[in-house]
A and B are shown apart, each in its own frame.
Chain A
Amino acid sequence: MSLVQISDSTPKPLETGRRYWRSLEELAGTPQFRRWVEREFPRGASELLSSSSRRTLLKLMAASFGLAGLVACRRPQEKILPLSKGVEHYIPGKPLYYATAMNLAGSVTGLVVEAHDGRPTKIEGNPRHPESLGACSAFAQASVLSLYDPDRSRVVLRQGRPSSWEEFARFAADHFRAEVLGRGSGLWLVAGSQPSPSYEAVRNHLLGRFPEARWVEFEPISREAMRRGAELAFDRRLETLYDFGKARLIVAFDADFLGVDSPGVRAIREFSRGRAVVSETDSMSRLYVAESRFSITGAMADHRFRIRSSEMANAVEALASALGLMPAHSGNFPWAAAVARDLAAHRGASLVLAGPGQPPEVHALVHLINEALGNFGHTVSFVAAERAPGEASFEELAAALASGRVQTLVVLDSNPVFAAPADFDFAANFSRAATTIHLGLEADETGSAATWHLPQAHYLESWGDLRTLDGTVSIQQPLIYPLYDGRTPAELLALLSGYKDQRAYDIVRNYWTARWPAQEAERRWRRALHDGLIEGTGAARLVPAVDRRRVLAAWRPRPAAGGIELVFYASPSVWDGRFANNGWLQEAPEPMTKLTWDNAALISPATAKKLGVTSGDVVLIEHEGRSAEAPVWILPGQTDDSIAVALGYGRTVCGRVGRRVGHNVYPLRTSRTAGFAVGVNVRPAGRRYRLVSAQDHHAMEGRPLVREATLRYWREHPDFAQHAVHVPELKSLYPEHQYTEGYQWGMAIDLNRCVGCNACILACQAENNIPIVGKREVARGREMHWLRVDRYFTGDEEAPEAVFQPVACMHCEKAPCENVCPVVATVHSPEGLNEMAYNRCVGTRYCSNNCPYKVRRFNFLDWHKGLEESQKLVFNPDVTVRMRGVMEKCTFCVQRIEEKRIQAKAEGRRPLRDGEILTACQQTCPAEAIVFGNINDPASRVALIKKQNRNYVMLEELNVRPRTSYLARIRNPNPELV
């Protein structure tokens, strides 16, 4: 028998002629990168001792020997504490599920939350909810951790000293009277966006009692530019709604609609459905993206144009003129004519959109384009956006504050001291108001500066209602009694205004039941709680006409500004800073850079060369006399002379997780430069800063791990995915497992649908009790995520394309890990799972060294040491919390398999249905990219998918026969532009 050489360390190009790389280091083949490839555990990662010295270890060992001797005599006495009185529906040990909803800066997602013994542990999307459709985002997944955050504020603070709600109620009764506040001319309220009918009723009651009080909505990342654009185009305040599912052609201008520019998940679901293809004869949608920052939307694009945000208006203008809507354009946008022709061929089924960072005129022009393309009523529709009575802008508040006209300032669920535009000097003027009252989840920058800080109830502790942009209302029901005596914003306003109902439950329930016929009220209320949304809500969709003259009259030609621009964007980890203390989100690698625990000034390789900086160099960014520092990260594909920095980092008054993590760039962001600033001055600060990116971690040899082709190539070579590598005839020395009956689990991941949004990573973390390790440990390659999303670049270093590939344990049929375990801790199950018995593992790490996919994770330290009691409540009781010295990895959510199996047995030993078992990553995936099921059943979804011609497995030539396969990605470029 001759040995076939199958390991070849030189990257082989695909038949399609592409080479894929994870980082510039890999492209250049630096020794640093080779080390990540060659060593399963990087140098230093194997040092078991991290912070504790040898001396402490000896002490600990002595102590544990002593304890071991003691406990061996008699096991500790455990108590069982049953309830005194039974609770309806509650069976100890059985999870209960409740529908609720989450609000993130006005974007509402309906959720179904799993509660174990009264504590919420896992969040899923609500399939009935129009903004969820069963999926949920990384933010929603991680929000359960924030609930148990021990750094949340726990007591009422008055001038920073502990006080009580009773004392505040006495103060409020005394202060919020007509004799003190008059008609409320000195009363200002500033609140985060919370679209909630019952809350608005309480607010209007308060504004009715104090008619001269002013209401300000403040969100650092808002859709205000879009609303103002609609105002310009239609002379009405409207919210724009998109239907990505109906759009066969999408043109996005600086709009990261799959990422942070629409923090919900509906956009991803609809978009990915438009990308779904089964056979090469299917058609798929086409996406053009013009953007400055390389976003995940840009990674999904069929054509990506690198254009600075400040020149985006010119690009939109060029498209409008190519469509004949404006006079001929002289700008250098060679693609505009071809895109215009493509759009014209897809009338009524195309969609043009601009990002919220673009100015209102651009949005107005985009409306004009969509109207001309016949998209109104098909892919674009509108609903009325109401203003609060007495609503003022944040700018007016800032001016009133500066001139001393604000006597009482109430801040609800917002952190303007940290995030206010820098030109308003908000932080400095905040204390000029005689009385400041802050309601928030944490005593943050605003809370610590306020006269009164009041703890807010987390949304999982709150009764309320929330309205999506399209008007659907969900009832928010609490999963747990407030842990820290928090109250909801509606309750605070009710307290301040003497509203008829004081408790959140009464406020929301009475608001709705008053609107229903009395005899139906109870039934409809229960129905709304059960379904997670109220029947019959939903605003009328409007299709107004664009006032073309107004739009064109407002248009100013914009000469291309020189210099470097600075683009601000919401962080996919901490959003505007509110999730800074959430360790799950902080540690989730940013989708494009794979940076963890940091933000950075993202620049292109060419700009880096021009500025003479490299990744990790700190630069000083100056604009209009303001300055901030940030470390540079070179991101291939970033537009030249454009720097993108994520907002929300560098919090100073924050819990122990998020304090001083990253760099704060709010000091550079003014009211006029909310999206981007032009002509910034950048120079090296002469310092280095350690940025930790996981992009090279768990790197595999440069074989064709990701496979893709254009739609045309696929049609010419239907089986291209299977022939990317030469696979010799393979025989195994090990006996074949027999799977004649029963189940055999498998998974398929569609790379054509995955948008790299990270929701799966967070879902896995929540479901499987995956610990947080911190920045220093991530740098050592010790991150514990069972599921990682590899991001590969391909093509030109300056303007590459990108592909995402989620990678978890493949559950190989001939698993190399199983053969090398000396203690049989990792074994094959009769259903093909590669199982991990933690209590057998002795931590040799041979399995990990032998895993070609690098999906095994080792507990180098006890990551759960020092957890506070509240943090232990988040654990999923169905999954073991692993200790130090133990190997772990993806289990295909075996606890979910077993749960359903036991249920099926109890229901008369029926067979498990296809789709009954969902892995955590699959359940939350907004793109529906992950399918799991029984591959023994030829009719199961996963078996059918695995028969598609795009199906391939990674490293097939190793003959380990992984159970997770991938569907090759297909791009659909415009033949005219190729």
Chain B
Amino acid sequence: MASIFSKSTDTYIRIGVLAAALGAGAAIALGFYLANPQVRETGYAPLQPVEYSHKLHAGDLGMDCRYCHSSVEQAAYAAIPATEVCMNCHVRVKGDSPLLQLVRESYATGQPIPWVKVHSLPDYVYFNHQAHVAAGVGCVSCHGRVDQMIVVKQVEPLSMAWCLDCHRNPAPKIRPADQVTNMAWQPDRDPVEIGRQIVESKGIAPPVNCSGCHR
């Protein structure tokens, strides 16, 4: 009786199993790679409905972050400003620019401008800008050189491990209160030493327990 399987079947099976194992391994490795916040989150730079340039406003014109993100010292959110804030200047400056059409429309109709969120944390994370600004964490520490960005891009992974790096060792990221919004702060002595002194004098002890951020 002729056998159902030829002699080479064994080889095919072996190759097949090996290929499947390698493929599965590669898929898992790829999954881990893609799931890494460093890979998945950084570099996110969505297009905004209005071509607003932070480079122009915060960089070239030198506007302070808090002119627009005015709630950063009082609330958890460094809120996106109301259209009104844009119009404070833009009723006089570039009042008829086609790029500002949506801004003028929003101001006239009361409809919000649908900005796209760039820095997004999971819902179970209760990040608070007020607490960080009060401690002296510079905007640039988490958001990067926004003053050089035409389109805002996420530069840090905003992952829990990344948060904890600083919570466990805050000194390198702490600066004097009046330098928090300074994107290009270059102290004349060691910034870590300055940070360490502030941490000590203010008694900064960032929480590293769960409920510090998860409630």
- A881 and B111 CA atoms in complex are apart in Å by 29
8 Å CB contact of B106 from A80, A84, A905: A84
Checking A80, A835, A906 against B134 with a beta-carbon cut-off of 8 angstroms, the contacting residue is A906
* Cβ A82 vs Cβ B113 within 8 A: yes
Determine if B215 is an interface residue (Cβ-Cβ < 8 Å).
yes
Residues A874-891 near B (CB distance < 8 A): 878-881, 891
Contact of A77 among B116, B122, B215 (CB under 8 A): B116
Interface segment, one of A88-96, A205-213, A508-516 = A88-96
When A82-B83, A92-B79, A906-B131 are in contact, do A830 and B112 touch as well, CB less than 8 Å? Answer: no
Q: A77-B116, A84-B107 are in contact. Are A835 and B210 (CB under 8 A)?
A: yes
- Complex-state Cα separation, A78 to B49, whole angstroms: 13
Q: What's the least CB distance linking A115 to chain B, in Å?
A: 14
Write out the residue numbers on chain B whose beta carbons fall within 8 Å of the beta carbon of A79.
114-117
Docked CA distance A553–B34 (Å): 91
A898 B215 Cβ-Cβ under 8 A: yes
User: For the complex, what is the distance from the CA of A829 to the CA of B75, rounded to whole Å?
Assistant: 24
Interface membership of A54, Cβ < 8 A: no
Which of A84, A85, A879, A880 counts the most B-chain CB atoms under 10 A from its CB?
A84
User: Who on chain A is nearest to B105 by CB?
Assistant: A84
B203 contacts A85, CB within 8 Å?
no
Assess A94 versus B75: contact at CB under 8 Å? Given A82-B115, A86-B82. yes
- Asked if residues B115 and A905 are in contact (CB atoms below 8 Å), the reply is no
B185 at the interface (CB under 8 A from A): no
Minimum Cβ distance to chain B for residue A11 (Å)? 37
Q: Is A833 an interface residue (CB 8 A)?
A: yes
B209 with A835: CB separation less than 8 A? yes
Q: Is B124 an interface residue (CB 8 A)?
A: yes
Could you tell me the distance in whole angstroms from the C-beta of B45 to the nearest C-beta in chain A? Answer: 12
Which residues between 102 and 160 of chain B lie within 8 Å of chain A, taking CB atoms? 106-107, 109-117, 120, 122-124, 126, 128, 130-131, 134-135
Q: Which residues of A contact B122 (CB under 8 A)?
A: 839
Inter-chain CA distance A830–B85, complex, in Å, is 43
Whether, in the assembled complex, A827 has its beta carbon less than 8 Å from a beta carbon of chain B, the answer is yes
Interface residues of A in 539-571 (CB under 8 A from B): none
Contact of B112 among A72, A73, A82, A880 (CB under 8 A): A82
Which of A85, A86, A92, A894 is in CB contact (< 8 Å) with B211?
Answer: A894
Knowing A84-B82, A880-B123, A906-B130, say if A93 contacts B209 (CB, 8 Å): no
A902 at the interface (CB under 8 A from B): yes
Determine whether A345 belongs to the interface, using a CB cutoff of 8 Å to chain B.
no
Q: Is the CB of B202 within 8 A of A909?
A: yes
- Quote the shortest CB–CB distance from B152 to chain A (angstroms): 12
Q: In whole angstroms, how far apart are the Cα atoms of A895 and B210 in the complex?
A: 12
Instruction: Verify if A837 is at the interface (C-beta below 8 Å from B).
Output: yes
B29: interface (CB < 8 Å): no
Chain A min CB distance to B128 (Å)? 6
Pair B46/A77 contact, Cβ less than 8 Å: yes
Q: How far apart are B49's CB and chain A's nearest CB, in angstroms?
A: 9
A55 interfacial by beta-carbon distance below 8 Å: no
Q: Does A428 contact B (CB under 8 A)?
A: no
The answer on a CB contact under 8 Å between A909 and B203 is yes
Nearest CB of B to A932, in Å:
15
Given contacts A85-B83, A94-B74, A902-B131, contact A827 B126 (CB under 8 A): no
In the bound complex, do residue B214 and residue A839 qualify as a contact, i.e. CB atoms below 8 Å apart?
Answer: yes
Please count the residue pairs between chain A and chain B whose beta carbons lie under 8 angstroms apart in the complex: 123
Q: Which of B81, B131, B202, B209 contacts A829 (CB 8 A)?
A: B209
Taken together as a complex, chains A and B put the C-alpha atoms of A905 and B204 apart, in Å, by 9
Q: Is the CB of B110 within 8 A of A85?
A: yes
Given contacts A80-B115, A829-B210, contact A93 B82 (CB under 8 A): no
With A79-B116, A92-B79 already in contact, the answer to whether A72 and B214 are too (CB < 8 A) is no
- Verify B214–A838 contact, CB threshold 8 A: yes
Q: Is the CB of A72 within 8 A of B73?
A: no
B110 contacts A84, C-beta separation under 8 Å:
yes
Query: Are A905 and B134 in contact, with the CB atoms below 8 A?
Result: yes
Decide: A829 and B211 in contact? CB cutoff 8 A: yes
**Bound form: Cα–Cα A839–B214 in Å:** 9
Closest Cβ–Cβ distance, residue A373 to chain B (whole Å)? 53
B80 interface contact, C-beta 8 A: yes
Chain A residue numbers with a CB within 8 Å of B20 are none
User: Which B residues are CB-close (under 8 A) to A75?
Assistant: 40, 120
Does B35 count as interface, using CB distance less than 8 angstroms? yes
| A518 interface hit (Cβ, 8 Å) | no
Assess whether B179 is interfacial by the CB under 8 Å rule: no
Residues in A914-969 with C-beta less than 8 Å from chain B: none
For residue A58, CB closer than 8 A to chain B, the reply is: no
A75 vs B3: C-alpha distance when bound (angstroms): 54
How far is it, in angstroms, between the C-alpha of A84 and the C-alpha of B107 when the chains are bound? 6
Q: Does B52 contact A (CB under 8 A)?
A: no
B17 touches A (CB below 8 Å) = no
B38 interface contact, C-beta 8 A: no
Contacts of A837 in B (CB 8 A): 210, 214
Closest Cβ of chain B: how far from A788's Cβ, in Å? 22
Tell me whether A180 is interfacial, beta carbon within 8 Å. no
* Residues of chain A contacted by B114 (CB below 8 angstroms): 79-81
Which of B83, B123, B210, B212 neighbours the largest number of chain A CB atoms within 10 Å of its CB?
B210
Residue of A891, A895, A906 ringed by the most chain B CB atoms within 10 A: A906
A80 to B211, CA, bound (A): 26
Q: Does A83 contact B (CB under 8 A)?
A: yes
A838 and B122 CA atoms in complex are apart in Å by 12
Closest to A879 in B: B215
Chain A residue nearest to B117 (CB atoms) is A78
In the assembled complex, the CB of B184 is this many whole angstroms from the nearest CB of chain A, namely 26
Report yes or no: A82 in contact with B214, Cβ–Cβ below 8 A.
Answer: no
* CB-nearest residue of chain B to A906: B134
- The verdict on A898 contacting B211 (CB below 8 Å), with A80-B117, A93-B76, A839-B124 known, is yes
* Interface members, chain B 197-215 (any A CB < 8 Å): 202-203, 209-212, 214-215
Interface string of B163-206 (1 = CB under 8 A from A): 00000000000000000000000000000000000000011000
A898–B126 contact, CB under 8 A?
A: yes
A78 to chain B, nearest CB (A): 4
Partner of A880, one of B76, B128, B134, B215: B215
Distance in Å from the Cβ of A80 to the closest Cβ of chain B?
A: 5
**CB nearest neighbor in A for B125:** A839
- Beta-carbon nearest neighbor of B84 in chain A: A85
A880-B79 CB under 8 A given contacts A72-B35, A84-B109, A906-B134? no
In angstroms, Cα B106 to Cα A84, docked, is 6
Contact at A902–B110, with CB atoms within 8 Å?
no
Bound-complex Cα distance A91 to B74 (A) = 8
Contact of B71 among A93, A839, A891 (CB under 8 A): A93
Contact between chains at B126 and A878 (CB < 8 Å): yes
Which of A85, A840, A878, A895 gathers most chain B CB within 10 Å?
A85
Q: Which residues 702-730 in A have Cβ within 8 Å of B in the complex? A: none
Q: In the complex, which residues 813-869 of chain A have their Cβ closer than 8 Å to any Cβ of chain B? A: 827, 829-830, 833, 835-840
Q: How far is the CB of B188 from chain A (nearest CB, A)?
A: 27
In this assembly, does B162 line the interface, its C-beta being within 8 Å of a C-beta of chain A? no
Interface set, chain A 44-102, CB cutoff 8 A to B: 72-73, 75, 77-86, 91-94
Chain A, residue nearest B135 (CB): A905
| Bound form: Cα–Cα A182–B179 in Å | 77
Query: Which of the listed residues B80, B111, B215 has the most CB atoms from chain A within 10 Å of its own CB?
Result: B215
Tell me, in angstroms, the Cα distance from A85 to B87 when the chains sit together.
Answer: 10
Bound: A827/B207 CA distance, A? 14
Q: Could you say which residues of chain B place their CB within 8 Å of the CB of A86?
A: 82, 84-85
Knowing that A84-B82, A894-B215 touch, tell me 6 more A-B residue pairs with CB under 8 angstroms. Answer: A78-B116, A80-B115, A80-B117, A94-B71, A879-B215, A906-B131
Q: Which 3 A-B pairs have the closest CB atoms?
A: A81-B112, A78-B117, A92-B79
- 13 A-B contact pairs sorted by A residue (CB < 8 Å): A79-B116, A84-B84, A84-B111, A85-B83, A86-B82, A827-B209, A835-B209, A835-B210, A836-B210, A839-B124, A880-B123, A891-B215, A909-B203
